Amino acid sequence: METKEYIGKVLMDNTYYGGEDIYSDGSIEDEILEIVKSTPESGYDDVIKEKDNWPILYHLSAQRENIVASLPISKKDKVLEIGSGCGAVSGALARMCGELTCVDLSRKRSLINANRHKDLDNMTIFTGNFTDIEKGLPCDFDCICLIGVYEYSDSYIGGDTPHKDFLEIIRKHLSPDGCIVIAIENRLGMKYFAGCREDHLGTYFSGIEGYPEGSGVRTFSKPALEKLLDESGFTNRTFGYPYPDYKFCSLIFTDERLPEQGELTRNLRNFDSSRLDVFDEKRAFDASIEDGLFPVFSNSYIVVARRKEKEDGDRCIYVKCSNERNPEYAIKTMMMETPKGERYILKAAEHGNESYPGSIKKSGEALEKKYDGTELKINKGTLTDKGLKLEYVKGTGLETLLDECIDKNDTDGYRKLILKYKSLIGHNADVAPWNRDMIFQNIIVSDKGEWNLIDYEWTSDEKIEAKDLAYRSLFCFAAGVPGRENFDREWFDDTFGGGADDYLSAAERERDFQRSVTDKALVLENIRASIGNAVVCALPEQKDAPSYSLQIYTDRGNGYTPEECVTVPNAYHRLTAGTGRVEVDFVIPEGAKEVRIDPVSFICVAQIRSLAIDGREVSFTKIRYRGQSLGPGEIFFRDNDPGIRVKVKGCGGKRLTASVIVSRVLDVPEEI
């Protein structure tokens, strides 16, 4: 192996490589390497959809890059990425900066990184242990990134204070005005309370409980992170709050722009393992937002920290990444703040149609002419080298104003707002263009009472009837929020000349529209069913709960029949809400060829803790089932007739014993 080699334009430096990849996901890395060698980056989404494989999704999805979307990195900056792995964010960093240096322990992963970014000429990858490599690194980096790395300090730095020591080490390699970036899970993240397994250990509640001794990994709450940064001299810092978490975020909030109630969606993106569903995470977040506690329970953090105060120029305080769309529509929306506290909105194209911001600007100009002379103001945009710059409108969203009326049961106030909205969408109703985005959430009422349309991305010459737009607005307003859809509904229907069928039609049109925008893209919510794992109900049992009786069927060579079924009503022992243990103790009939154990009669995840014939363990490889394997002895059954089949030919008269943990499933993936 050469000490230095080029993969395309990427330089790989193997000077410090010890000859063995200590950290590896196994043979799947060989498959990923072949994918990046043979497939252009634009084709990764198709591969992910075809393979239905968690590691391939995790390492190759473009959604991973979203976490660096708000970073203050420019083309003049030198960036160091520690723990670059397969390059999930390396490409984005290289495109943002002038020079990128990557460090990773694994040569295989570094080869994947180099091959997928082989056309980038500003990237160098060092393979080997960081503690060896860092001694030869320069001390003038403008930014040092630890994306999903800081939690492993105990394993790779060692000592009594590894997390503090890690910060001390990297501090030496910063330029005087440089910053460090830490993206990490919050050990008190709401998703962990709601039933997600700890990301690194795969266990329930281990981070919340403080981590077991010797786990080798540790994430932190916000106060704990702040304390570590303080001790290392990083007193100037800003916290970002990625949602749903930093790995696949679509939103990043800050203390200057925190989420509002109702803004977050339900988080069931459990791709790597099954999860519990202890409570509705979205509603719990809404409650924490109301009490000002969102930063405490944010699922992840991205921290930008410096050694001293620095005038940074314009800073991103909020970002929404809309790249789960077809490439021509992929866009990033950022709320920017100047050093003087002035704000503006910036819309930048992602890796697709770079002219897209310009087309949005033209839509705004056409709408400005259409609504000239009315009370509706169109948010003006200016094209810059960074994208479309839009005014930041101070005021209250129409959606919020309507909510306030609903909360106070103020029908008069509600009707007044809806009638004003009706007059605006009815203006020049037969004149092009028509703006599909003229919905409640895109209208801001300023402090002076002016109505402002802040988003007009989906504008076209295809006519939209005023009634259809009104019901789209109602559907988008009401979706997933109790109380909104039916408030003063009879009056709403009379006002727009519609009814229930129009609302349902609006819902169907919205689904069709979203499909047309995303049909070529990788939409994580759509692939959760095939790549993700089960969501197991942990809520108290309902009155209509199905039967918990154990049933055992015998097949003597002619299939399973009701006549060859034994029901054991008291075999189920409740452990917690939604979870119980089924104990099997069954004498195998003479002539039996196969026995089927039906532990319960509902959709579940079954964990086979033990399975034996006359005390001799039966290998999991010898059982059969109609379900999805979640791991050795763990099976997801997607219907209410779970069955575990065991071959028992020649075992007549012997005793079959088993212990199975079953957990009810609340959310059922559409496909397996």
The tally of CA atoms less than 13 A away on the side-chain side of residue 361 is: 19
Residue 428 and residue 434: Cα distance in Å, rounded?
10
Q: What is the pLDDT of residue 641?
A: 83
Residue 251 and residue 323: Cα distance in Å, rounded?
11
- Residue 417: inside a domain, yes or no? yes
Q: What is the pLDDT of residue 540?
A: 55
Helix ranges restricted to H, 134-194:
153-156, 162-171, 190-194
Per-residue pLDDT, averaged over 458-486, amounts to 87
Write the CA distances from 653 to 464, 559, 566, 617, 656, integer angstroms: 74, 20, 16, 17, 9
Predicted TM-score (pTM) of this structure: 0.80
- Please check whether residues 511 and 553 belong to one and the same domain: no
- Residue 386: inside a domain, yes or no? no
Q: Which two structure tokens, joined as six digits, stand for 560?
A: 């399973």
Residue 648 and residue 556: Cα distance in Å, rounded?
10
- Residue 248: inside a domain, yes or no? no
For residue 407, give the CATH number of its domain: 1.10.510
- Please check whether residues 545 and 431 belong to one and the same domain: no
Per-residue pLDDT, averaged over 104-125, amounts to 97
- Please check whether residues 119 and 230 belong to one and the same domain: yes
Question: Would you state the torsion angle of the CA atoms of residues 265, 266, 271, 277, taken in this order, to the nearest 10 degrees?
Answer: 170
Find how far residue 100's CA is from the centre of its chain. 26
**Where a domain ends, among 506, 528, 550?**
528
Per-residue pLDDT, averaged over 39-57, amounts to 91
Quote the number of domains for the chain: 3
- Residue 331: inside a domain, yes or no? no
Residue 362 carries which side chain, given as an amino acid letter?
K
Residue 167 clears pLDDT 50, i.e. is over it = yes
- Residue 407: inside a domain, yes or no? yes
- Residue 580: inside a domain, yes or no? yes
Mean pLDDT of the chain: 89
pLDDT band for position 512 (cuts 50, 70, 90): confident
- Please check whether residues 586 and 631 belong to one and the same domain: yes
**Where a domain ends, among 287, 309, 331?**
309
Q: What angle do CA 312, 317, 321 make, to 5 degrees?
A: 120
- Please check whether residues 109 and 172 belong to one and the same domain: yes
**Where a domain ends, among 309, 344, 366?**
309
Contact 86, 113 (CB under 8 A): yes
Could you tell me the residue range of the domain that residue 446 belongs to? 395-528
Q: What is the pLDDT of residue 529?
A: 61
End-to-end CA distance of the chain: 43
- Please check whether residues 40 and 167 belong to one and the same domain: yes
- Please check whether residues 226 and 120 belong to one and the same domain: yes
Q: What is the pLDDT of residue 266?
A: 66
- Please check whether residues 159 and 21 belong to one and the same domain: yes
Contact 181, 147 (CB under 8 A): yes
- Please check whether residues 415 and 479 belong to one and the same domain: yes
For residue 207, give the CATH number of its domain: 3.40.50.150
Contact 567, 606 (CB under 8 A): no
- Please check whether residues 476 and 553 belong to one and the same domain: no
With both helix axes pointing from N to C terminus, report the angle between 411-425 and 466-478 in degrees, rounded to the nearest 10. Answer: 140
- Residue 256: inside a domain, yes or no? no
- Please check whether residues 503 and 623 belong to one and the same domain: no
- Please check whether residues 93 and 225 belong to one and the same domain: yes
Write the CA distances from 108 to 25, 31, 32, 295, integer angstroms: 10, 11, 10, 37
- Residue 370: inside a domain, yes or no? no
